[in-house]
Amino acid sequence: MQDKSTMRTEVLMAENRVLNPSEQIVSQANLSPENYERAIKQAQNDPDAYWADAANELEWFQKWNKVLDDSDKPFFKWFVDAKCNIVHNALDRHIKTANKNKVAIIFEGERGDSQKLTYYDLYRQVNKFANVLRSLGVKKGDRVAIYLPNIPEIAIAMLACAKVGAAHNVVYAGFSAAALKERIQSSAAKLVISADGFFRRGKVVHLKHVVDEAIIGVDTIEKVILVKRAGEDIKLSDKRYSWYHELMDSASPYAETEVMDSEDMLFMLYTSGTTAKPKGIVHVHGGYMVGINRTLNWVFDIKPTDIYWCAADPGWITGHSYIIYGPLIAGTTTVMYEGHPAYPGPDRMWQIIEKYGINILYTSPTTIRMLMGFGDELPKKHDLTTLRLLGSVGEPINPEAWMWYYENIGRSQCPVMDTWWQTETGMFMVTPVPVAPLKPGSANKPFPGIEAEVVDKKGHPVPIGEGGFLAVKKPWPAMLRTLYNDKEKYKDVYWSIIPGYYTAGDVVRKDEDGYFWFQGRADDVLNIAGHRIATAEIESALVAHSAVAEAAAIGVPDKIRGELAKAFVILKQGVEGSDELAKELKKHIRSELGPIVVMQGIDFVDSLPKTRSGKIMRRVLKSRETGKDVGDLTTLSD
Ligand code: WTA
């Protein structure tokens, strides 16, 4: 008899497993199946009208003269000549409605402390901090570096920057002094906003001394503002440093919102750097707010009563778009959790869901696989019945993890939205909507208004079932506008590989129903004796085995076949690695993927090199294996 997991994987791998949305979901969703189909067609026939519709759901100080200006490709402009400010939509307008006293942010500290801020509370805090920024000379067009953990002050800082028209450059609070310095310097930031420290895995992560080191010799920095979070006994001797709470004490809670052009910069954010040196992505006020609002509402189906938890960090684009700006524009309640997902125990996330009655959970495959490794019993110990929708982002989610998430966390009742997008795209690009049939492991189809294709190097569509590059044929409102101070590189990296198309660097294939199956970054595709195989496929097959918790695959050079596959495997709790098991896993890969996948070896390891946002850095494994230079390591987690 086959074990349950192998059987299930076979069914899923056949790509014919389709889960249809329940009648209950369809009848309640913001979008009906008919409206979804209609939106796809409308957006194809008249994209300007479709995006103008989406823009009209928001408030503008002055409307646009033109939806899209494509006269200077690839420097597209959206909502030309319109005036707006994203903060007006995320905060100011809610103060005039019943949302005023609704909870905007629920904060959960790692030690179990919690805090709730209503829209009115948040509005007043942001106004105060905007006044602090103005009093320090921060004005429209300036850049401000933010190096804060996942606490409400990061939202306040970002919103206050946007309110006064300064661009924020958030640097994930796990980055080193060198990485922070580089990001401060390249944006010529005037100010750094940070904290004394924060709590992670039961310890204090100290931030101040990282900032101290990062700003040595950086003369653009005029001021450092520190939030007191960890309660460290710190004396501020350097005149440039001030405490956040002291500045806030005397600030007024009234502040004007700067009138911005829709194309004015809202923020810059460095990419996570799985494959190369991080790039400074630029986003703007107008199109960005339109894109994230439309996608969040349709894909996550936000309801007025929802409590929504995106368990990412505000230091990533996922946090910018879907912890802070998107949910606040939608007027929902967004949850921020400071700590580690498995601290103090591996059921922490399930405990948080129970504590607040969370309705929507958005997390990453890497987190799901890690928690899956602790077994099916832990989620059963908590009341997860409030959940009605799940989301995944960051990497391809293997069908096995998808099904585990669906069955064990979503009680087989919550649709799983596997959203494909990037720092560059700003918003979901290829994604299901809750009213469409789902295929476990597939990110479904391009969102209405997104014209994406699977093409070869020349830009020709590849046959159904074959891997190719993801290319986007038409611009979209939340797209990056450029790379900070590097227009040429922006053109080269994104618009020159396949002329006229935006290329994302991802490899994907489309099935006969038009569903997209992402396979990973183009750099992560192996060529074994002429057969192209994605590392994600090998990893997915491995994780489907009952002994495996996580896996990473790379290619190693081989004289005869060009390349062979090598895998690094973290076993589930309680399973011991052995030669027999390695043999069995090789056999398992052969039976799942066919004899073309020739394995050079399987190593059992305790951890895998990941970026700080949880993506496996295969190039680190590869350089270690092949003795080649590993390149930029600033985004590596450990
Ligand atoms: C990968 C994160 C498969 C992809 C929002 C992309 C995914 C890169 C998915 C961007 C998904 C993200 N399925 N792959 N659902 N979501 N990716 O900039 O390789 O941190 O190019 O943005 O993550 O990562 P970034």
pLDDT tens by residue, 160-177: 999 999 999 999 998 889
Amino acid found at 213: E
Q: How confident is the model at residue 330 (pLDDT cuts 50, 70, 90)?
A: very high
| Residues 269-273, mean pLDDT to the nearest whole number | 81
Res 634 pLDDT > 80: no
Report the distance separating Cα 514 and Cα 368, nearest Å.
Answer: 26
Instruction: Establish how many alpha carbons lie within 13 A of residue 11's alpha carbon, considering only the half-sphere containing its beta carbon.
Output: 13
> How far apart are the CA of 417 and the centre of ligand 1, in A?
13
| Residues 374-383, mean pLDDT to the nearest whole number | 96
> How far apart are the CA of 365 and the centre of ligand 1, in A?
11
* Mean pLDDT, the chain, whole residue set: 93
Report the distance separating Cα 326 and Cα 90, nearest Å.
Answer: 8
pLDDT tens by residue, 461-490: 999 999 899 999 999 999 999 999 999 999
Residue with the nearest Cα to atom 5 of ligand 1?
422
> Token match 């320090």: residue?
136
pLDDT tens by residue, 494-535: 999 898 899 989 999 999 999 999 998 887 888 887 777 888
Strand partners, 116: 106
Q: How confident is the model at residue 7 (pLDDT cuts 50, 70, 90)?
A: very low
Res 611 pLDDT > 60: yes
Res 563 pLDDT > 80: yes
Report the distance separating Cα 77 and Cα 563, nearest Å.
Answer: 44
For residues 525 and 319, the model is more confident at: 319
Q: Please state which of the ranges 52-66, 197-211, 545-559 shows the lowest mean pLDDT.
A: 545-559
pLDDT in the model for residue 526: 83
Report the distance separating Cα 7 and Cα 328, nearest Å.
Answer: 43
Closest ligand 1 atom to residue 318 Cα is 5
Residue with the nearest Cα to atom 15 of ligand 1?
420
Res 317 pLDDT > 80: yes
Kind of pairing between the strands at 223-227 and 191-195: parallel
Q: CA–CA distance from 471 to each of 23, 344, 451, 516, 629 (Å)?
A: 34, 43, 8, 12, 30
User: Of 93, 161, 170, 85, which Cα lies nearest the Cα of 130?
Assistant: 161
Backbone φ, ψ for residue 606 (5° rounding)? -90, -25
| Residues 62-73, mean pLDDT to the nearest whole number | 98
| Residues 112-116, mean pLDDT to the nearest whole number | 98
pLDDT in the model for residue 431: 98
> How far apart are the CA of 580 and the centre of ligand 1, in A?
35
Res 365 pLDDT > 90: yes
Residues whose beta carbon lies within 6 Å of some atom of ligand 1 = 271-272, 316-318, 393-396, 418-423, 443, 504-506, 518, 521, 613
Residue with the nearest Cα to atom 13 of ligand 1?
396
Q: 283, 185 in Cβ contact below 8 A? A: no
Q: How confident is the model at residue 274 (pLDDT cuts 50, 70, 90)?
A: low
Q: CA–CA distance from 633 to each of 119, 192, 607 (Å)?
A: 39, 23, 17
User: Of 622, 43, 526, which Cα lies nearest the Cα of 294?
Assistant: 43
pLDDT in the model for residue 629: 76
pLDDT in the model for residue 179: 87
This prediction's pTM: 0.90
Taking every pair of Cα atoms in the chain, the longest distance, rounded to a whole number of angstroms, is 72
> How far apart are the CA of 66 and the centre of ligand 1, in A?
31
Output DSSP code: residue 275.
S
Backbone φ, ψ for residue 141 (5° rounding)? 95, -15
pLDDT tens by residue, 26-46: 888 999 999 999 999 999 999
Report the distance separating Cα 359 and Cα 301, nearest Å.
Answer: 11
pLDDT in the model for residue 277: 73
Closest ligand 1 atom to residue 443 Cα is 15
| Residues 421-447, mean pLDDT to the nearest whole number | 97
| Residues 403-429, mean pLDDT to the nearest whole number | 97
pLDDT in the model for residue 147: 98
pLDDT in the model for residue 16: 64
Res 355 pLDDT > 80: yes
Six-digit token string for 155:
């939202």
| Residues 420-429, mean pLDDT to the nearest whole number | 97
pLDDT in the model for residue 171: 95
| Residues 524-547, mean pLDDT to the nearest whole number | 85
pLDDT in the model for residue 3: 43
For 574, counting Cβ atoms within 10 Å of its Cβ (0-12 exposed, 13-18 middle, 19+ buried), the class is: exposed
Residue 559 makes CB contacts below 8 A (sequence gap 6+) with: none
pLDDT in the model for residue 275: 64
> Token match 């390149």: residue?
631
Report the distance separating Cα 546 and Cα 583, nearest Å.
Answer: 14
Question: Measured on CA atoms in the order 249, 250, 254, 256, is the torsion positive or negative?
Answer: negative
Q: How confident is the model at residue 8 (pLDDT cuts 50, 70, 90)?
A: very low
Res 22 pLDDT > 80: yes
Report the distance separating Cα 637 and Cα 629, nearest Å.
Answer: 18
Q: CA–CA distance from 74 to each of 263, 471, 480, 508 (Å)?
A: 14, 14, 10, 23
Q: How confident is the model at residue 638 (pLDDT cuts 50, 70, 90)?
A: low
Mind listing the domains of the chain with CATH numbers? 15-521 (3.40.50.12780), 529-626 (3.30.300.30)
User: Of 306, 7, 253, which Cα lies nearest the Cα of 130?
Assistant: 253
> How far apart are the CA of 422 and the centre of ligand 1, in A?
5
For ligand 1, mutation pick of 310, 395, 524 (most atoms within 8 Å of CB): 395
For ligand 1, mutation pick of 325, 507, 518, 539 (most atoms within 8 Å of CB): 518
Res 15 pLDDT > 70: no
Q: Please state which of the ranges 159-173, 491-505, 555-569, 620-634 shows the lowest mean pLDDT.
A: 620-634
Report the distance separating Cα 101 and Cα 80, nearest Å.
Answer: 34
Residue % of the chain over a pLDDT of 90: 80
pLDDT in the model for residue 272: 67
pLDDT in the model for residue 626: 82
Detail the DSSP E strand segments found in 109-210.
114-118, 143-146, 167-170, 191-195, 197-200, 203-206
User: Of 490, 470, 492, which Cα lies nearest the Cα of 479?
Assistant: 490
Residue % of the chain over a pLDDT of 70: 97
